[in-house]
Amino acid sequence: MNALKNKVQLIGNLGNDPEIINLESGKTLAKFSIATNESYKNAQGEKVTDTQWHNIVAWGKTAGIVEKYLAKGKEVAIEGKLTTRSYDNKEGEKRYITEIVCNELLMLGGK
């Protein structure tokens, strides 16, 4: 059961081309967002689609795959863990961001 403590699986489409960052340490970081859609019928019987955006980060070999193969609109399945971090913005206010650290990536759809 330990493996199930913090595990996220999503299938969605990239909202933009990935941002690739090469750090001074030699590590590679890929940042991108994916959209997931859920449809349901409201009380009036109308179809409603709810879109959620998820921030994804990938490191190392996974980041290399993201850089080489992923682009805006591509459909992917990702698996990772949910993380939250904080930072101070230009005005000195503390901001929080929730991201998924991707450790598995599967490209879906056609070429």
Kind and range of the H or E element at 65?
A: helix 60-69
pLDDT tens digits along 60-99: 999 999 999 999 999 999 999 999 999 999 999 999 999 9
Rg of the chain (C-alpha set) = 16
The stretch 32-44 carries a mean pLDDT of 93
Q: Hey, what are 79's tokens? A: 């698996």
E runs forming strands in 42-93: 47-59, 75-88
CATH of the domain at 52: 2.40.50.140
| CA distance between the termini of the chain | 37
Integer Cα distance of 98 and 79 in angstroms? 15
pTM of the shown model: 0.84
**How many domains does the chain divide into?**
1
pLDDT band at 109 (very low <50, low <70, confident <90, very high): confident
Q: Structural domain of residue 9, as residue ranges?
A: 2-107
Residue 5: the pLDDT is 87
